[in-house]
């Protein structure tokens, strides 16, 4: 027999959506916020020579600029106020979460601080975001000025550019938080999602034009189309896959009645970390290259010449970049999973409420078993994410023209788009279920009141 929740989910339809007025407001708020983000990607920073900068971008778009341009929704191409996008915020989140694992005061805030501790760590993340923004904005502005794209180069241009780019990222960070609290979906993920989706038509058009002039073979176009469909199917299958662990609750007697004896399931996803590993890995790889770009073409001291080698090795399509990207994806998959799911805490909660896993002792043994299962699932999840993100990179790195298209139709882009879409749809369904529950509660109260009369 279906549960009440399953019966409600089966009854979700257009009529239920029409009645959920609060959900309508949330969706409209999200759409308007994303439109504001898209408008900001077309507003250039003051003092930039767009014609000169366009030539600079065209000659460098196959490198790290192309990847940042994908995440920013084309803002880098226009040297817009949202050029840095939310990548500094993501980088700051990575650093705060890593430090929170090893620095005792922050670890205490994370584990025992509750809501107040979480807000304090979020505040530290904001402060660190400003610092990273200043460094990245200074690097971007200095690089633009060094290559002659500034109308009036000098300290005023650098200060103005740093202030505008930092303010743009902080505004996007605030906008993402507002989407999360007042809209639907995760705000930061949706901003990246909107940027990628906005670039998809241009990427597909460029691919078809390249095929017409012979720069890309028809076989490559066919392979890319097959790859895109295969990646979408794989992402949907893997994101919906889960290991369901049986949980039993003992029977207890109260008076002459027997309660309990129920069973439920603890669902463990194969990919608990979601889309965060490739986003974290990409943002971390952009940090050193962005800082090095501030040096422009200046002559470095002999003992710093290795920095140029690092800059070249981290360019898109380079074997070192592919290896570093894959290693970081695997690392962040395990790292983010450890943050999202704590086996010890879950085992303790089960023990408190009387739940247990059949054949396994409550407490430490349960935590060890959950950690064992989660580790095996995370190995599969890390491998799946790495394959999805790296196979298109290796395929398209063999063709310089196709390499420049990988940002719009590559595995990372498809993974983010499909995953964020599924998460957002799941949140919309949750809001609809909550709305139907509220309706049932109101009806039961009305019937109860009539019966009392």
Q: Is the pLDDT of residue 2 over 50?
A: no
Give me the phi and psi of 49, to 5 degrees please: -90, 100
The whole-angstrom distance between residue 34's C-alpha and the CA centroid of its chain comes to: 16
| pLDDT tens, position by position, 67-105 | 677 777 788 888 889 988 888 888 888 788 878 777 888
The overall average pLDDT reported for the chain is 78
Q: How many C-beta neighbours within 10 Å does residue 359 have?
A: 8
Q: Of 17-31, 277-291, 327-341, which gets the smallest average pLDDT?
A: 277-291
> Distance (Å, rounded) from C-alpha 116 to C-alpha 259?
37
Q: Is the pLDDT of residue 407 over 60?
A: no
> Distance (Å, rounded) from C-alpha 17 to C-alpha 429?
9
| CB contact set of 374 (below 8 Å; sequence gap of 6+) | 268, 272, 337, 341, 343
Average pLDDT over residues 340-344: 83
| pLDDT tens, position by position, 207-248 | 777 778 777 777 777 877 887 788 888 888 888 888 888 888
Provide the 8-state DSSP code for 302: G
Place of tokens 């085992």: 347
Cβ-defined contacts of 20-25 (< 8 Å, 24+): 20/431, 20/432, 20/435, 22/431, 22/435, 23/184, 23/428, 23/431, 23/432, 23/435
pLDDT range class, residue 336, cuts 50, 70, 90: confident
pLDDT for the residue numbered 319: 77
Average pLDDT over residues 287-311: 61
375: left (phi over 0), alpha (psi -120 to 50) or beta: alpha
Q: Please tell me which residue, 161 or 339, carries the higher pLDDT value.
A: 161
pLDDT for the residue numbered 267: 87
pLDDT for the residue numbered 62: 55
Q: Please tell me which residue, 135 or 249, carries the higher pLDDT value.
A: 135
Average pLDDT over residues 269-283: 82
What angle in degrees, to the nearest 10, is found between the helix axes of 87-102 and 114-146?
Answer: 130
Average pLDDT over residues 306-332: 76
pLDDT for the residue numbered 23: 84
Alpha-helix residue ranges (DSSP H) falling in 241-363: 276-293, 306-313, 319-340, 343-352
Which of 405, 62, 385 lies closest to 225, judged by CA? 405
pLDDT for the residue numbered 178: 92
pLDDT for the residue numbered 31: 93
Provide the 8-state DSSP code for 147: T
Each domain of the chain, given as residue ranges in start order, spans 17-452
Structural contact between residues 354 and 101, judged by C-beta atoms closer than 8 angstroms: no
> Distance (Å, rounded) from C-alpha 4 to C-alpha 401?
54
Radius of gyration in angstroms for the set of CA atoms belonging to the chain, rounded to a whole number: 25
At 215 the three-state DSSP class reads: coil
pLDDT for the residue numbered 172: 93
Beta-sheet pairing, 263-269 with 242-248: antiparallel
> Distance (Å, rounded) from C-alpha 38 to C-alpha 32?
10
Token pair recorded at residue 54: 């366009």
Residues composing the chain: 453
pLDDT range class, residue 61, cuts 50, 70, 90: low
> Distance (Å, rounded) from C-alpha 393 to C-alpha 410?
7
> Distance (Å, rounded) from C-alpha 405 to C-alpha 207?
7
pLDDT range class, residue 174, cuts 50, 70, 90: very high
- What's the fold here for domain 17-452? Preprotein translocase SecY subunit (1.10.3370)
> Distance (Å, rounded) from C-alpha 378 to C-alpha 73?
30
Q: Please tell me which residue, 310 or 199, carries the higher pLDDT value.
A: 199
Q: Of 84-88, 162-166, 232-236, 249-253, which gets the smallest average pLDDT?
A: 249-253
| pLDDT tens, position by position, 122-141 | 899 999 999 999 988 888 88
The whole-angstrom distance between residue 236's C-alpha and the CA centroid of its chain comes to: 16
The whole-angstrom distance between residue 240's C-alpha and the CA centroid of its chain comes to: 17
pLDDT range class, residue 425, cuts 50, 70, 90: confident
Give me the phi and psi of 151, to 5 degrees please: -65, -45
Structural contact between residues 404 and 62, judged by C-beta atoms closer than 8 angstroms: yes
> Distance (Å, rounded) from C-alpha 71 to C-alpha 386?
18
Q: Please tell me which residue, 363 or 440, carries the higher pLDDT value.
A: 363
Q: How many helices (H) and strands (E) does the chain have?
A: 20, 4
Q: Is the pLDDT of residue 108 over 60?
A: yes
Average pLDDT over residues 274-285: 79
Token pair recorded at residue 94: 């990575």
Q: Is the pLDDT of residue 441 over 70?
A: no
| CB contact set of 130 (below 8 Å; sequence gap of 6+) | 166, 170
- Residue 389, classified by CB atoms within 10 Å of its CB into exposed (0-12), middle (13-18) or buried (19+), is buried
pLDDT for the residue numbered 6: 47
pLDDT for the residue numbered 304: 60
Of these ranges, 7-21, 63-77, 98-112, the one predicted with the greatest mean pLDDT is: 98-112
Helix, strand, coil proportions of the chain in percent (round to 5)?
Answer: 75, 5, 20
């Amino acid at each position: 027999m279906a549960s009440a929740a399953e019966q409600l989910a089966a009854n979700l339809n257009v009529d239920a959506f029409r009645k959920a007025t609060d959900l309508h407001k949330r969706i409209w708020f999200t759409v308007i916020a994303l439109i504001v983000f898209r408008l900001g990607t077309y507003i250039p920073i003051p003092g930039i020579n767009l014609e000169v900068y366009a030539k600079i971008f065209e000659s460098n778009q196959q490198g790290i600029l192309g990847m940042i341009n994908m995440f920013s929704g084309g803002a880098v191409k226009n040297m817009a106020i949202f050029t840095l996008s939310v990548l500094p915020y993501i980088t700051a989140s990575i650093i705060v979460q890593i430090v929170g694992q090893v620095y005792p005061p922050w670890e205490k805030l994370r584990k025992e601080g509750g809501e107040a501790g979480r807000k304090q760590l979020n505040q530290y993340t904001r402060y660190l975001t400003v610092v990273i923004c200043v460094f990245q904005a200074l690097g971007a502005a200095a690089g633009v000025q060094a290559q002659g794209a500034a109308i009036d180069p000098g300290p005023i241009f650098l200060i103005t550019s740093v202030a505008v780019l930092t303010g743009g990222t902080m505004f996007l960070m605030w906008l993402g938080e507002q989407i999360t609290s007042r809209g639907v979906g995760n705000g930061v993920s949706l901003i990246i999602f909107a940027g990628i989706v906005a670039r998809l038509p241009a990427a597909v058009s460029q691919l078809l034009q390249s095929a017409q002039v012979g720069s890309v073979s028809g076989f490559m176009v066919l392979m890319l189309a097959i790859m895109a469909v295969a990646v979408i199917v794989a992402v949907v299958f893997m994101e919906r896959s889960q290991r369901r662990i049986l949980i039993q609750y003992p029977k207890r007697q109260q008076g002459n009645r027997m309660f309990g004896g129920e069973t439920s399931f603890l669902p463990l996803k194969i990919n608990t970390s979601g889309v965060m590993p490739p986003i974290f890995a990409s943002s971390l790889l952009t940090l050193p290259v962005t800082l090095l770009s501030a040096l422009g073409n200046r002559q470095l001291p002999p003992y710093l010449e290795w920095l140029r080698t690092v800059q070249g090795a981290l360019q898109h399509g380079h074997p070192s970049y592919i290896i570093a990207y894959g290693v970081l994806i695997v690392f962040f998959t395990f790292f983010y999973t450890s943050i999202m799911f704590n086996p010890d805490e879950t085992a303790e909660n089960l023990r408190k409420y009387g739940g247990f896993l059949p054949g396994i002792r409550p407490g430490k043994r349960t935590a060890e078993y959950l950690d064992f299962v989660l580790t095996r699932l995370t190995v599969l999840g890390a491998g799946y994410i790495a394959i999805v993100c790296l196979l298109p990179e290796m395929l398209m790195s063999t063709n310089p023209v196709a390499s420049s298209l990988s940002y719009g139709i590559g595995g990372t882009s498809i993974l983010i788009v499909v995953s964020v879409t599924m998460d957002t749809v799941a949140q919309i369904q949750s809001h609809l279920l909550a709305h139907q529950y509220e309706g049932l509660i109101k009806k039961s109260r009305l019937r109860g009141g009539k019966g009392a009369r």
